[in-house]
Amino acid sequence: MPSYEANHLSVAYRSHNEDRCAIIHDESRTVIVVADGAGGSGSGERAAERVIAEVREHYRQLTTSADWDQLLTQIDYRLGAGESTAVVVDIRQDGICGASVGDSVAWLWQDDELRELTQDQIRKPLLGSGEAQPQGFEHSSLDGMLIVASDGLGNYLKRDVLTRTISQADFYEIPRRLIELVRLPSGEYWDDTTVVVCRLQPRRRSRQRYEIE
């Protein structure tokens, strides 16, 4: 059974970070969720945390993009205060599915091409408004690299710089490298920024035993 490995990094541009992310490994399945709380008052932070909690609670019962679409719609009505984006990517042996709301993004780097899984998402209204319109997506099995990020990266990093970095950098260094690319000369950032990368875990070569006769 295939397994997946992931790495992530999140930085704040204010005193606290309203981005939240989770990487859930469950046997041969991995679920990645990034939520970017809106508003800067603390209510967005709580909304993003609630999105993560809802995904953790319900993911085992969800198997299709329509299921994820429905969960995000339910979350939209259940959030008591604050608003948040959300992108959820569910990775299995037989394919990728998920859903998104807002401007957090999911890209697939495969065969030297970058495909945006969230290209049809509707940016506003956000979860918590009661009027959000989640959009599901599907793709074949993961054969390459998945990049999930909040808008602190997606809105400020040029596509050609993104592709060059992920094609050349070590897998475990990619989140740090990408975030460094959107750092301002002052050392600060445009926005809270979160990056998650995921790939099929490489097979380790078994050690061969040699006997001397």
- Pairing between β-strand 19-26 and β-strand 145-149 as defined by DSSP bridges: unpaired
Its pTM stands at 0.91
Contact (CB, 8 A) for 83 and 129: yes
The number of beta carbons lying within 10 Å of the beta carbon of residue 125 is 15
Backbone region of residue 102 per phi and psi (left: phi > 0; alpha: psi in -120 to 50; beta: other values) = left
Cα 211 from Cα 213, distance rounded (Å): 6
By CB neighbour count within 10 A (0-12 exposed, 13-18 middle, 19+ buried), where does 37 fall? Answer: buried
Cα 107 from Cα 111, distance rounded (Å): 13
pLDDT single digits (tens) 168-192: 999 999 999 999 999 999 999 999 9
Judge whether residue 213 has pLDDT over 50: no
In which band, very low, low, confident or very high, does the pLDDT at 1 lie, cut at 50, 70 and 90?
low
Cα 35 from Cα 162, distance rounded (Å): 21
Contact (CB, 8 A) for 114 and 105: no
Mean pLDDT of all residues in 54-73: 97
How much is the pLDDT for 69? 98
CATH topology of domain 4-200: Phosphatase 2c; domain 1 (3.60.40)
SS3 180: helix
Q: Is the peptide bond between 175 and the residue preceding it cis, with omega within 30 degrees of 0?
A: no
Contact (CB, 8 A) for 19 and 48: yes
Judge whether residue 208 has pLDDT over 50: no
- Pairing between β-strand 86-92 and β-strand 83-84 as defined by DSSP bridges: unpaired
